[in-house]
Structure 1
Amino acid sequence: MTTPLRSESTARASDDSRLVTPAQAWYAVAILTIANVSGFVDRQILSLLVEPIKRDLRVTDTQVSLLMGLGFVVFYSLLGLPIGRWVDRGHRPRIVALGAMVWSVMTMLTGTARSYGHLFLARIGVGAGEATLGPAAVSIIAGQFPPRRLGVAMSTYMMGTFLGSGVAYALGAYVVGRVDKPGLVAVPIIGDVFPWQLVFFVVGLPGLVVALLALTIREPRALSVGGESSAPEKQAPFADVIVYLRTNARTLGALSLGFACSASVNYGVGAWLATFLIRTHGWTVQEAGTLQGVLTFTIGPLGVMLGGRLTDRWSQQGHIDAPLRVGMLGALGMLIFAGLYPIVPSPLLAAALLVPVNIFAAMPWGAANAAVAEAMPPRMRGQGSAMYQLVVNLLSGALGPTAVALLTDKVFRDPLAIRYSLSLSAVFGMSLAIALLAWGRPAFSATVQRLRAEADAAA
């Protein structure tokens, strides 16, 4: 469904874009992208230090998995809901700054852990800090860019996901052999720590700089058109948010579940790619980690920016459902290439196919944030984004890696069959993503048209 786009000034008359210059808006995107990089490095680095953590703290695989799952994803997702309400009424740059300070300090406290319980609490703190970033970033960016430019702005912010993950993978591949040593290292003020714990100080410290930078982002809510202080927009009561979600259940359900299916496949690939390369093609841990890091760091950003440009181009052509179209295109590309790379016989061909896999895996994520932002009224965006992230993170984090493992263990019953598990989960998951997003397109277009009409009437 298409409709002619309104003028940019009319379309955003009730948003924050009239109170900031384009340079200020892009500055905000740049700082939020840096924050996203910092957060993802802090989030991912633990998964690359599993063996020394198990040895020195005497924990099991299951306990380590809880640090990455229950200790992070669950608290990260659930805390997003009250934080989303805070975002909808509070000073958003200060919320980002506080969150960056919390996740950075808690990352460094991971470097002082002497027990599993200490480590678990530190990971909860990292998740709590990072829970502030997504809702605040979506709210800030959506308020400062018109719809026809929102795709590239959101995609630029989402580049931080791939840059941060790529840095973590590459850093892990580089340092794993240097910190996987028994014994203790003396650190001034802190005292004796295990060698692997030094990594958490290195990756945690930059986040404190990010916190200071976040305070320099302009907050339009603190201004009126004349430049004087004014009260922020009244927050929507939670009951109104629930009513809105019910009224637009098809729109928001299709967005959340459709992109959750895409994310589940991505999580599965991310969790098991190195294992696949080791088991199937005889690669070393360092070789597999380096390939994964380089592709994520270089090809991932290209994919997410391509998705953003396509979103904006189709939006400018009058396609209200442009973000969902991009999501479907990314899912189709993943269905083909993520379905193929595990089952080809040549390791070089498999590595080559991972290039389009990374492009299509990254393509939808700026578009997804743009879709959520456009489908929610401005005063509900923080809460809407938090609820979307709750569904996507919980479903993808729980289903993605586990689906591959269950297929390998329970269906094929052969560790070497991981290649078929990866292929089958990609084909099934992305087929479901395409179906859900296609089902939601008419409802999404109707929701966005109604919100735009309400904004015009209020202007």
Structure 2
Amino acid sequence: MLKRLATSPSYAMVLLFLAYTMNFVDRQLITVLLNDIRADLGLSDAQLGIISGAGFALFYVIAGVPLGYLADRINRSRLLAASIIVWSGMTALCGAASSFTQMLLARIGVAVGEAGGTPASLSLIGDYYPPAVRSSKLGIYFSGAALATMVSYAVGGWVNEMFGWRVTFALFALPGILIGLALLFTIQEPPRGRFDEGKPVADLTLRRGLAVLMRTPLFPTLCLGYVGSNFVLYTVLTWGPSVAMRSYGLGSGDIGLLMGLTSGIVAGAAHILGGLLADRLRRAGGHVPLYYTAATQVACALLVLAFLTAGSFSLFAVFFALAFGAGALYAAPSMAVTQSILPPNLRAMGAAILLLFGTVAGLGMGPLIVGALSDHLHPVHGEQSLRLALLVLVLVGLLTSLVYAYAAWRLRADPQDTAMEPG
């Protein structure tokens, strides 16, 4: 029985899905706790932006590429298991913080652990499933973010009101440790490149591997698209609950329950159905899913504008959920295109770099820029300053749609736009 499970793609996919869910939960849980952390530790919005975004992102970036390079060369399931155990333990330590510095150090630990998780998982999915179904499988994988939103907002908000933010961090660390142990003892590594004949390149050093990636013309464009998409999505997720609390005078339990349920259901369906649609669109040409991604970014920008100008919390929650769903649709098709243009022994590093740029923008720049802008506007606009600061996301979303449209045009013009050995 255990031997069959160890080689089953479906069983592995369940564990990868759960690992990604906890990755996102432990990253996002702090967003529903920010107001209480702010009051308890006496922090500013800019400091909250650093611990929820910039401080996390910096060390995620520093650790991401070396760990992605490592995932291309060692047992990926064991690396993933070690990563989730590390980030879960550091999540527990967030609850013990008594100052800005201590909270920042704990969040840095979460970031370093999470940096090794997603690149290894994406590389594994590339070897568990062939190109024709990768978008749909990646859609299922990325739907873990939607489940994470439901858990972190709804359950996290309720636990916070019952037991406080410190206990909430500790309780949410436990599931990840159990998942890490299951990955360590029950998963067997699949052969690399099993569905990609003729794609491998020679074993490369880290520097030469980076050179191959940067010489792939479409790859930097996809990175830029990921930057814009993450800037919008993660900034919305980071500050959305705080906007609702300040604008409508509700507590974290009320906010978390409605926003978590609506956002999770909508985004989960969007990830899965969006991945299936991307696989179908791929039959018309490898570039078509990128045109679809461009359209989703336009929809996201308009929905962000809708929830920021909503006259009631009910409308706010509905438009927030729809914006989250539309904004998340970039992940599966853009990552599937990246997997298809890169050789098997560069996929984890390519995913790590894509995530690196996205994390810098989404968790690093987004929350910090909006938090600082909110602080600047606060003397004049009071508690509405955060809502006004978030309007910058509308412009970013529209510009991002143009980047994806350009990438689609580029891939249509040159379908063989794939990785090359550096000269």
Query: Per the shorter chain, which TM-score range?
Result: 0.7 to 0.9
2 CA distance for matches of 1:143 and 1:35? 18
Matched, 1:270 2:254: no
Label 1:223 to 1:217 Cα distance change in 2 as closer, same or farther (>3 A).
farther
- Distance 1:393-1:48 versus aligned 2 partners, 3 A rule: same
2:221 corresponds in structure 1 to: 254
Change (3 A) 1:100 1:311: same
The answer as to 2:363 corresponding to 1:397 is yes
Q: Distance in 2 between matches of 1:223 and 1:270?
A: 35
Residues 148, 264 of structure 2: 8 Å contact kept: yes
Gaps of 5+ in 2: none
Tell me how far apart the structure 1 counterparts of residues 239 and 194 of structure 2 sit (CA, whole Å): 51
Hey, what does 1:36 align to over in structure 2? 20
Change (3 A) 1:426 1:122: closer
Cα offset for 1:242? 3.0
For the Cα contact (< 8 Å) 1:332–1:430, is it kept in 2? Answer: yes
Give the aligned partner of residue 259 of structure 2: 292
CA-to-partner distance for each residue in 1:344-364, whole Å, 9 max, x for gaps?
Answer: 445444443334323212222
- The offset of 1:319, in angstroms, is 1.5
Q: CA RMSD in A?
A: 3.2
Q: Name the CA shift for 1:329/1:306 in 2 (closer, same or farther; >3 Å).
A: farther
Given the superposition, is the C-alpha separation of residues 224 and 397 from structure 1 closer, same or farther in structure 2, using an over 3 Å criterion?
Answer: closer
Corresponding residue for 1:108?
A: 92
| Partner SS for 2:143 | helix
CA distance in 2, matches of 1:85, 1:279: 43
Quick one: distance in 2 between partners of 1:339 and 1:90? 45
2:290 to 324, 330, 346: 324
1:441 paired to 2:411: no
Specify whether residues 110 and 283 from structure 1 end up closer, same or farther in structure 2 by C-alpha distance, changes over 3 A only: closer
Could you state the TM-score of these two structures normalised by the residue count of structure 2? 0.85
For residues 118-160 of structure 1, give each alpha carbon's deviation from its aligned partner in whole angstroms, at most 9, with x where no partner exists.
Answer: 4433322221111111110111111222222011111111111
| 1:448 to 1:90, Cα distance in 2 relative to 1, 3 A | farther
Measure the CA separation in 2 of the matches of 1:418 and 1:45.
Answer: 19
Q: Distance in 2 between matches of 1:262 and 1:224?
A: 31
Q: Tell me how many residue pairs correspond in the alignment.
A: 410
TM-aligned CA deviation for residue 74 of structure 1: 1.3
Match of 1:209 among 150, 173, 178: 178
User: Shift of residue 275 of structure 1?
Assistant: 3.6
The equivalent position to 1:221 in structure 2, one of 186, 191, 195, is: 191
2:212 to 244, 253, 256: 244
Aligned residue number for residue 235 of structure 1? 203
Measure the CA separation in 1 of the matches of 2:138 and 2:214: 26
**CA distance change for structure 1 residues 277 and 199 in 2, over 3 Å: closer, same or farther?**
closer
Q: Residue 382 of structure 1 aligns with which residue?
A: 348
Separation in 2 of the partners of 1:282 and 1:198? 24
Q: Are 1:76 and 1:130, in contact at CA under 8 Å, matched by a contact in 2?
A: yes
Per-residue Cα deviation, 1:171-229 (whole angstroms, up to 9, x for no partner) = 2321222234xxxxxxxxxxxxxxx433233111211211122132231239999xxxx
4+ long deviations beyond 6 Å: 20-23, 222-225
Distance in structure 1 (CA, Å) of the matches to 2:103 and 2:364: 21
CA distance in 2, matches of 1:274, 1:73: 20
Aligned residues of 2:297 and 2:400 also touching (Cα < 8 A) = yes
Checking the alignment, whether the CA contact within 8 Å between 1:84 and 1:136 is kept in structure 2 is yes
Match for residue 199 of structure 1 among 168, 171, 191: 168
| 1:12-161 paired onto structure 2 within 5 Å | 24-50=8-34, 53=37, 62-113=46-97, 117-161=101-145
- Asked if the contact 2:57/2:360 (under 8 Å) is kept, the reply is yes
Cα offset, 1:95, TM superposition: 0.6
Q: 2: distance between equivalents of 1:246 and 1:76?
A: 20
- Cα drift, residue 284 of structure 1: 4.2
8 Å CA contact retained: 1:40, 1:161? yes
The residue aligned with 1:4 is none
TM-score (norm 1): 0.79
Helix, strand or coil: the match of 1:298? helix
Q: List alignment gaps of at least 5 residues for structure 1.
A: 1-19, 181-195, 226-231, 455-459
Judging changes above 3 Å, is the alpha-carbon distance between structure 1 residues 22 and 334 closer, same or farther for their aligned structure 2 residues? farther
CA distance in 2, matches of 1:62, 1:421: 13
Change (3 A) 1:222 1:248: closer
What is the rounded CA distance, in whole Å, between the counterparts of 1:338 and 1:82 in structure 2?
35
Give identity over the alignment, percent: 29
Deviation at 1:33, TM superposition (A): 0.6
Identify the residue that residue 229 of structure 1 maps to in structure 2.
none
> Is the Cα–Cα contact under 8 Å of residues 149 and 312 in structure 1 kept in the other structure?
yes
Distance in 1, matches of 2:33 and 2:84, equals 22
CA distance, structure 2, for counterparts of residue 334 and residue 259 of structure 1: 14
User: 1:370 aligns to what SS in structure 2?
Assistant: helix
Which one-letter code corresponds to 1:255 in the other structure?
A: L
1:405-424 to 2 correspondence within 5 Å? 405=371, 413-415=380-382, 416=384, 418-422=386-390, 424=391
Q: Distance in 2 between matches of 1:81 and 1:443?
A: 26
**What residue in structure 2 maps to residue 10 of structure 1?**
none
Relative distance call for 1:21 and 1:330 in structure 2 (3 A) is farther
Matched, 1:370 2:319: no
Choose 1 or 2 for highest CA Rg: 1
For residue 8 of structure 2, give the secondary structure of its aligned residue in structure 1.
helix
Question: CA, structure 1 residues 223+314, in 2 after alignment: closer, same or farther (shift >3 Å)?
Answer: closer
* TM-superposition CA deviations, 1:328-358 (whole Å, max 9, x none): 1210211222222322445444443334323
1: CA distance, partners of 2:33 / 2:376: 28
